[in-house]
Amino acid sequence: MVWIGDDCHVSRLAADDIDLVESNADLWKSFLHSRIATPLSTPGALSLFNAPPEEHLSLAKHFTSEKQVEEFIAGKGTVIRWVRQSRNNHWFDAAYNACVAGHLLGARLNEVSEPVEQLIISPGMGRPDGGLGWSGRGTAEPGCPITMAAGPF
């Protein structure tokens, strides 16, 4: 079995009983950085939980651990690549892979015409189910493209 998505695909390795996901890392890293660079009031923006800036410092360091470069390759034209500047890029890799996983599960960027209920994530807060990270419910502004849901997974 093979499933082909936008710059990613899933193939079945029957001998090992594994579903293998392969993606265009450069494209999905650019996608993630585009979400981060999008103003919060604009569809397609990615926001983090509300916290003092120093609580996001490690994540910011991982997200900026690679630099986007353009190069010309004969036969292909201008190609965008991401070049690692620091070894601490694990959360950046995990985040772009989460974008790929969301895409494979059907998540797409859409405009939302009415406010939607969303969970408000806050560090150190317990969820009613005993998990970490949930602090209550709120309402997203119109145009918010992504609603996060916390709960038992």
pLDDT on residue 9? 87
Print the domain residue range for 125. 111-153
Q: Domain check: are 73 and 144 in the same one?
A: no
Q: Domain check: are 29 and 103 in the same one?
A: yes
Range in 2-6, 95-99, 119-123 with the lowest mean pLDDT: 119-123
Q: Domain check: are 100 and 117 in the same one?
A: no
Domain count, the chain: 2
Q: Domain check: are 76 and 92 in the same one?
A: yes
pTM to 2 decimal places: 0.67
Q: Which residue has the tokens 């996983």?
A: 101
| Residue 142 near residue 115 (C-beta atoms within 8 A) | yes
pLDDT on residue 114? 53
Q: Domain check: are 99 and 124 in the same one?
A: no
Torsion over CA: 148, 51, 127, 113 (sign):
negative
Q: Domain check: are 148 and 99 in the same one?
A: no
Q: Domain check: are 45 and 90 in the same one?
A: yes
Q: Domain check: are 117 and 142 in the same one?
A: yes
Q: Domain check: are 123 and 149 in the same one?
A: yes
Evaluate if residue 28 carries a pLDDT over 90: yes
pLDDT on residue 144? 35
Q: Per-residue confidence at 112, pLDDT binned at 50, 70, 90?
A: low
Q: Please report, for residues 14, 21, 26, 129, the alpha-carbon distance to residue 100 in angstroms, rounded to integers and kept in the order given.
A: 22, 9, 12, 27
Q: Domain check: are 99 and 149 in the same one?
A: no
Q: Per-residue confidence at 27, pLDDT binned at 50, 70, 90?
A: very high
Model pLDDT for residues 119-152, shown as the tens digit of each residue? 444 444 444 444 433 333 333 333 333 333 332 3
Q: Domain check: are 66 and 124 in the same one?
A: no
Model pLDDT for residues 33-81, shown as the tens digit of each residue? 999 999 988 888 998 888 888 889 999 999 999 999 999 999 989 999 9
